[in-house]
């Protein structure tokens, strides 16, 4: 037991450095997913038919293909064909971000469709364009309603970030596996990594829950 504890204490700083890489991947992926997911959701709800078809195919593809397959497809295939010399960290964040965009677009679309349909018509009656109505009336409400779903997406992306291992990104999982393969303390080290993943998930979800409470409008049930 003392030897196992010594191994964990010795490896902990190295593993925690990987936790920072994991957080960078998750932050990049969630941000890219947010930037892409919002206009995709608007296009899926309000866009013309050909736009909805294109976006629908995007969502179908990235939700239907395993992330591991996407990692190999983009990192060793598409990015190389495009001449993009991306680091493993950047490539992982981009692939997870594009995948997250497919899921986030559905979260935002559901929130938009849950709002009373007459709100956009009311904005037109006030002389607003559809774009102004969506940006100033629809989206602020939809984004507030999307926080619980976004919290769930954060947890999923955090777990999926461990797939950075397959392209060589030095995230927490990769570093834990690296140490375990040399010390043969797989169980102890992976339990330690699992606890850190759990703590990150717990803190992230708690922060998003606090944000949800902060932006909640008393008496507003939508």
Q: Write the CA distances from 148 to 41, 84, 181, integer angstroms.
A: 17, 35, 38
Average pLDDT, the chain: 89
Domain 1-215 has CATH 1.10.3720.10: yes
Instruction: Count CB-CB contacts under 10 A for residue 30.
Output: 22
Q: Label residue 158 by pLDDT band (50, 70, 90).
A: very high
Q: Go through the chain and tell me how many residues it has.
A: 222
Phi/psi at 66 (5° precision): -55, 145
Q: Label residue 23 by pLDDT band (50, 70, 90).
A: very high
- In the numeric block, which tokens belong to residue 205? 């979800």
Buried b (16+ CB within 10 A) or exposed e, 123-148: beeeebeeeebbeebbbebbbbbbbe
Q: Label residue 219 by pLDDT band (50, 70, 90).
A: low
Higher pLDDT, 97 or 7: 97
Average pLDDT over residues 73-96: 91
**0.75 exceeded by pTM:** yes
């Amino acid at each position: 037991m003392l030897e196992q504890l010594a191994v964990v204490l010795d490896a902990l700083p190295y593993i925690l450095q990987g936790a920072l890489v994991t957080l960078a991947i998750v932050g990049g992926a969630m941000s890219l997913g947010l930037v892409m997911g919002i206009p995709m959701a608007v296009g899926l709800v309000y866009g013309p038919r050909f736009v909805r078809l294109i976006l629908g195919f995007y969502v179908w593809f990235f939700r239907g293909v395993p992330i591991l397959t996407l990692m190999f497809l983009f990192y060793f295939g598409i990015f190389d064909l495009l001449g993009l010399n991306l680091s493993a960290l950047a490539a992982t964040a981009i692939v997870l971000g594009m995948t997250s965009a497919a899921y986030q677009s559905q979260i935002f679309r559901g929130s938009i469709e849950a709002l009373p349909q007459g709100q956009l018509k009311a904005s037109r009656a006030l002389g607003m364009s559809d774009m102004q109505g969506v940006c100033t009336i629809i989206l602020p409400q939809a984004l507030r309603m999307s926080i619980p779903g976004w919290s769930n997406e954060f947890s999923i992306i955090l777990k999926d970030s461990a797939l950075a291992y397959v392209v060589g990104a030095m995230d927490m999982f990769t570093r834990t596996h690296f140490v375990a393969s040399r010390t043969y303390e797989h169980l102890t080290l992976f339990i330690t990594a699992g606890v850190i993943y759990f703590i990150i998930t717990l803190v992230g979800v708690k922060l998003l829950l606090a944000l949800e409470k902060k932006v909640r409008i008393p008496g507003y049930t939508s």
